[in-house]
Chains A and B, each alone.
Chain A
Amino acid sequence: MSDTLPLGVTLNGIERSVEVDPRRLLVEVVRDELGQPGTHIGCLTGDCGACTIELDGQIVKSCLLLAASANGCEITTIEGLAENGELTTIQQAFWDEYGFQCGFCLPGMLFAAKDLLEVNATPTDGEIRSAINGNLCRCTGYDTIVKSIAEAARRMAAA
């Protein structure tokens, strides 16, 4: 039984390879071995969504994956969203509309919002709520998150 496996991924556009213990979850490797702690751990059961990342273009909860399963995949984490330090439209809208308080749920919320707005540029409030149903927030009561996403949609439409 070998102690580690080689893992090669493209992380936020950069090719990375690390040796990982097969027991490691993708979320752990992203945070520790790959040094991107913006992805959070809230439950390790797939319920809270704080560990959401993009894997080969689809959003996934990275606590539900063994790191080894992601070999050869492309990964985007919250650290990979802003380009040259400039917040994305969605991030800026969350900032302006008080879309977070403690911010722990924020990475997951941003990916859920991005995923929604990519397929639905003009979502209703109901569609926004249903798009973030996989993500828990205990601080905001969701109101300002919904407003942030609606505002992001407006700004993207205007751009």
Chain B
Amino acid sequence: MPGIPPEHAILLAAVLFLLGLTGVLVRRNVIFILMSIEIMLNAAGLAFIVAGAAWGQPDGQVMFIFILSMAAAEVSVGLALVLRMYHCFKTLDADAASKMRG
């Protein structure tokens, strides 16, 4: 990490994570919620990369690869759920699926 303070990079990761969390909390479209979750996972990976670069160890990038594979699995299952929900409710509103009548 030549010349870049790690505080600033961690701050960037925190800002991105907060933006993703805001998106998850405020949007009602399931597609936007999935995108915000991707942003949050990406910010977590950025924090790992910053830590790995700060200590000069490859472990940060290894954890980033794990986060990447987890994000890929998550988005595939999430999009399958989105398709299922659209076939059931004919909408992507997250509030339409809020009636859990077990």
Partners in one complex: no
Residues on A lying within 8 angstroms of B by beta carbon are none
Contact surface of B with A, Cβ cutoff 8 Å: none
